[in-house]
Amino acid sequence: MNGKEFYAEEEGRIEALKEKLKGFNISSIPHGFFFCPVEGMDGTVRIINFDGEISSDKDKIGIASMNIHVYRKYWYHKFGATQYFSAMQKAVETRNKANKDVKFTEIEDDGAHIFFRYDIFLLEDMPIDAAYQKFQEIVQEIEGHTERILEGEDISSEVLGDEPMFTLEILLPLFRNMQFVDVKYNHGKREFGKDITFSEIDKFGIRRKWCSS
């Protein structure tokens, strides 16, 4: 792709260094192949901190799959694994209802292991490194919403002191739960003070656009 060669494992899985995921769009990924970004570290390679894959899709341009595997023996979250992933399923379904860009796939629980999977639909073509960034933001938002479901209204000082984290984990899910539509996170130098844009449609079908900085 774009002069780059990648090695594909069985079933079309391609592990590629994150810094090499540039120079081609997600739509150019051959059908049936899935990119899994990895990072180089001290001469070795490790998979990024979540097991995610990005591929092309003829109907939705691109698709990113989130695959979480938990071994209960090494689960140290203060909430139980079953409770945590039940909350995460609610978070995924809440975003799906508002944005139609995610879909809960399945949860398997054999007593010792839990496998939780959901898909993220990338609805426009974009460079694969930009798709990876968007993938990360949506995952962070869902994980943040999961924590809010578990904690109720409690918000940690870490989240309160980090503006991007506060935006992704608190404000975006909040606006979606308030039934606003087209909720988007605008980050970077070209936001012009509009960190979040969103809309509402009144009883007469008139769309009102809002922004938050």
Is pLDDT larger for residue 210 or for residue 64? Answer: 64
| Helix or strand (DSSP H, E) at 209 | strand 207-212
Which of residues 186 and 93 earns the better pLDDT score?
A: 93
- Cβ 36 vs Cβ 16: under 8 Å: yes
By CB atoms closer than 10 A (0-12, 13-18, 19+), residue 91 is buried
What pLDDT, on a 0 to 100 scale, did the predictor assign at position 88?
94
What residues contact 91, with CB distance under 8 A and at least 6 apart?
A: 142, 143, 145, 146, 149, 173
- At residue 103, φ and ψ (nearest 5 deg) are -155, 125
Average pLDDT, the chain: 81
Highest mean pLDDT among 14-23, 150-159, 163-172: 14-23
Percent of the chain with pLDDT strictly greater than 90: 15
Q: What was the pLDDT predicted at 106?
A: 94
Cα(first)–Cα(last) distance of the chain, in Å?
A: 39
Is the predicted pLDDT of residue 112 greater than 80, yes or no?
yes
Question: Of residues 6 and 193, which shows the higher confidence score?
Answer: 6
Nearest C-alpha neighbor of 70 from the set 79, 62, 61 = 79
Per-residue pLDDT of 87-107, as tens digits, reads: 999 999 988 988 889 999 999
Q: How far is CA 69 from CA 53, 106, 116, 182, in A?
A: 14, 12, 7, 31
Give the per-residue pLDDT at 188.
Answer: 53
CA distances from 119 to 32, 34, 65, 95, 141 (A): 15, 13, 4, 12, 14
Across 69-73, 84-88, 117-121, 171-175, least confident range: 171-175
48-52 long-range contacts (CB < 8 A, ≥24 apart) are: 48/18, 50/139, 52/135, 52/139
Secondary structure string (H, E, C) spanning 54-113 = EEEECCCEEEEEEEEEEEHHHCCCCCCHHHHHHHHHHHHHHHHHHHCCEEEEEEEECCCE
Query: What residues form DSSP beta bridges with 167?
Result: none
Tokens 């901190």, residue located: 49
Domains annotated for the chain, with CATH where assigned, are: 10-153 (3.30.1460)
Q: Each residue of 153-170: pLDDT tens digit?
A: 556 566 667 777 677 767
Q: How many CB atoms lie within 10 A of CB 150?
A: 17
| Residue among 23, 134, 151 nearest 83 (CA) | 151
Instruction: Provide the pLDDT for residue 159.
Output: 66
Grouping H, G, I as helix, E, B as strand and the rest as coil, residue 203 is coil
pLDDT category at 22 given cuts 50, 70, 90 is: confident
What is the reported pLDDT for 103?
Answer: 95
**CA–CA distance, 142 with 168 (Å, rounded to integer):** 9
